[in-house]
A = this chain, B = another copy of it.
Amino acid sequence: MMNPIKELFNIEYPIIQGGMVWCSGWKLASAVSNAGGLGLIGAGSMHPGVLREHIQKCRLATANPFGVNVPLLYPGIENIMDIIAEEGVKIVFTSAGNPAVWTPFLKERGIKVAHVIANKKFAEKAQQSGVDAIVAEGFEAGGHNGREETTTFCLLPEICDAVSIPVIAAGGIGSGRAMLAAFALGADGVQIGSLFAASLESSAHINFKNAIINAEEGDTKLSLKSLVPVRLLKNEFYQQVAKAEAEGANRSELMKLLGRGRAKKGMFEGDLKEGELEIGQIASAVHQIRPAAAILQDIWQEFLSEKERISNLSV
């Protein structure tokens, strides 16, 4: 029996590169797809025209399947969806919103849909909406995250039991060992963010890439919980937020502190002090800026050798 994620997306390895804001342009997505994984363009940080350009460039750079990640709360989402349809994108990962709204539109156009969730309720809702796969994202993941704070270890078995469609694990996947652990918990594939955010082909600013590879244990924290929870690298901006929260700041005070364009400032423009630096807890295990293909191959080879080790383990 073939792996259902490989089959669904017609890819060589069941490894998906997360469609991250300010990191995942056509260069990264095509590099991952060319290496046999599934590359995703992150529409969340792109104006519609920019997204169109990235889709077109990605198609020129790889003959393999690739997709687009769309946060459903994106302003002007209709525009984004029209471009995706017009450009003939074959795979869409949706997140941060109601999967019932756009899944029919995408499915009618023959597009494969995966939806990112962080709890059972939304996994069931996504399945009912007709999506082809679920991305179950744990508390350790970078960027925006669930309010339940359920970790990958607790979330995966819950979701794999709750739905009958394939499940992709996200959050904390930084090695072949972790990929195998996700499979042991019931996943059919993995989505990897932090490692690819620091890859050579990532469009993140070099300052941000260096900050990722220098991150140590405890250097990220789920923050801004009263707005939308987001896992951040602890920099000066994070400390400002933490101080305001400890002093009992309300939502509007926090929104004012956050302001606009913080994520771009940090991740794309490299302002490590004042920018918002979204990254996963597993950043502490990323030590080098490397080509996406090398990252993917290392994970895959470790996955195979760890699978062999576990098979032969005497217990």
A171 touches B153 (CB 8 A): yes
Query: For the complex, is A148 an interface residue (Cβ under 8 Å from B)?
Result: yes
Interchain CA distance A29-B96 in the complex, whole Å:
45
A108: chain B residues within 8 A (beta carbon): none
A315: chain B residues within 8 A (beta carbon): 3, 6, 14, 183, 303-304, 307
In chain A, positions 1-20 with a C-beta closer than 8 Å to chain B are 1-3, 6, 14
**A155–chain B nearest beta-carbon distance, Å:** 8
Query: For the complex, is A206 an interface residue (Cβ under 8 Å from B)?
Result: no
A101: chain B residues within 8 A (beta carbon): none
A186: chain B residues within 8 A (beta carbon): 177
Query: For the complex, is A64 an interface residue (Cβ under 8 Å from B)?
Result: no
Interchain CA distance A145-B26 in the complex, whole Å:
41
State which of A77-85, A256-264, A269-277, A280-288 sits at the interface with chain B.
A280-288
Given contacts A1-B314, A184-B181, A248-B246, contact A154 B119 (CB under 8 A): no
Stoichiometry (number of copies):
2
Interchain CA distance A107-B182 in the complex, whole Å:
37
Interchain CA distance A67-B306 in the complex, whole Å:
32
Among B1, B157, B248, B310, point to the contact of A310 (Cβ < 8 A). B310
B185 touches A177 (CB 8 A): yes
For A143-165 the 0/1 string (1 means CB < 8 A from B) is 00001111111100110000000
Given contacts A148-B217, A217-B119, A247-B248, contact A180 B310 (CB under 8 A): yes
A121: chain B residues within 8 A (beta carbon): 217
Among B14, B151, B158, B217, point to the contact of A120 (Cβ < 8 A). B217
A147 touches B218 (CB 8 A): yes
Interchain CA distance A32-B282 in the complex, whole Å:
34
Interchain CA distance A177-B187 in the complex, whole Å:
11
Interchain CA distance A14-B315 in the complex, whole Å:
8
Query: For the complex, is A252 an interface residue (Cβ under 8 Å from B)?
Result: no
**A193–chain B nearest beta-carbon distance, Å:** 13
A154 touches B140 (CB 8 A): yes
Chain B residue nearest in CB terms to A169: B153
A14: chain B residues within 8 A (beta carbon): 315
Among B2, B173, B281, point to the contact of A150 (Cβ < 8 A). B281
Can you identify 23 A-B contacts, CB atoms within 8 angstroms?
A3-B315, A140-B151, A140-B153, A140-B154, A147-B218, A151-B152, A152-B153, A153-B171, A154-B172, A154-B284, A177-B185, A178-B184, A181-B182, A181-B184, A183-B313, A184-B184, A184-B306, A184-B310, A303-B315, A307-B311, A307-B315, A310-B311, A311-B311
Closest 6 CB pairs of A and B: A248-B248, A148-B218, A153-B172, A311-B311, A181-B181, A181-B184
Residues of A within 8 A of B (CB): 1-3, 6, 14, 119-121, 138-140, 147-154, 157-158, 171-175, 177-178, 180-186, 217-218, 221-222, 226, 246-248, 281-282, 284-285, 303-304, 306-307, 310-311, 313-315
